[in-house]
């Protein structure tokens, strides 16, 4: 499999022999390596992903502030897998939505925040996004608390050119 790492200045680094250890290394090296030019097809795929992913991330914040679990999980594929920060594995959009609804009903309310990607990497038909979150919550007793973390999200473009999350890992 060929892995194409995207540098913020739109250059790439390719890994021809890629397993899980090589993928992890490529994610770490992607932002610092500047080599060959991307193909037009790769450029088009990444341009599409770069247009979509930030708006989906921003909409998640809006949906969570509105306490709308359905809207917050619309980007997930029907068979997506979500791994929560505490290691809980959820399979399928319905289960992920139910988890989000439980968090909304029993947890603090999102007041503000952002999900920001730190990089994107194209691997065949998939785009790997890694980034960080910075969120502000209001607890039931009115206190504000801030949380931050990292995430790795795998996106796949559907046959009708929409992007959906097939894997999401929160760290």
Q: Between these two residues, 1 and 153, which has the higher pLDDT value?
A: 153
- What are the pLDDT digits (tens) for 5-41? 444 433 343 333 334 444 444 454 443 333 357 789 8
Structural domain 3-170, CATH architecture: Roll (3.10)
pLDDT(167) > 90: yes
If residue 103 lies in a helix (H) or strand (E), which one and from where to where? helix 93-106
pLDDT(157) > 50: yes
* Predicted pLDDT at 36: 55
pLDDT band for position 99 (cuts 50, 70, 90): very high
Q: Is 22 helix (H, G, I), strand (E, B) or coil?
A: helix
Say how many Å lie between the first and final Cα of the chain, rounded.
Answer: 26
Average pLDDT over residues 101-105: 96
- The rounded distance, in Å, linking the Cα atoms of 86 and 98 is 17
Which residue, 37, 33, 27, is CA-closest to 3? 27
* Predicted pLDDT at 29: 46
How many alpha carbons lie under 13 Å from residue 167 in its C-beta half-sphere?
8
pLDDT band for position 2 (cuts 50, 70, 90): very low
* Predicted pLDDT at 19: 42
CA dihedral 87, 79, 70, 46 (to 10 degrees): 90
pLDDT(144) > 60: yes
* Predicted pLDDT at 71: 98
Average pLDDT over residues 101-107: 96
- What are the pLDDT digits (tens) for 31-90? 333 335 778 989 999 999 999 999 999 999 999 999 999 999 999 999 999 999 999 999
* Predicted pLDDT at 37: 72
- The rounded distance, in Å, linking the Cα atoms of 92 and 58 is 22
* Predicted pLDDT at 38: 77
């Amino acid at each position: 499999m060929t892995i194409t790492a995207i540098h913020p200045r739109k250059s790439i680094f390719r890994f021809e022999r890629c397993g899980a250890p090589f993928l992890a290394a490529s994610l770490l090296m992607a932002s610092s390596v500047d080599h060959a030019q991307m193909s037009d097809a790769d450029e088009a795929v990444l341009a599409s992903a770069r247009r979509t992913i930030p708006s989906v991330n921003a909409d998640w914040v809006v949906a969570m502030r509105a306490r709308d679990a359905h809207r917050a999980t619309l980007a997930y594929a029907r068979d997506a897998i979500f791994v929560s920060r505490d290691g809980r594995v959820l399979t399928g959009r319905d289960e992920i939505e139910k988890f989000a609804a439980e968090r909304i009903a029993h947890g603090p309310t999102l007041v503000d925040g952002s999900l920001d990607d730190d990089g994107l990497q194209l691997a065949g038909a998939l785009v790997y996004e890694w980034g960080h979150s910075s969120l502000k919550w209001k607890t039931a007793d009115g206190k504000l608390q801030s949380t931050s973390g990292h995430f790795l999200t795998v996106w796949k473009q559907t046959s009708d050119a929409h992007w959906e999350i097939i894997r999401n890992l929160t760290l």
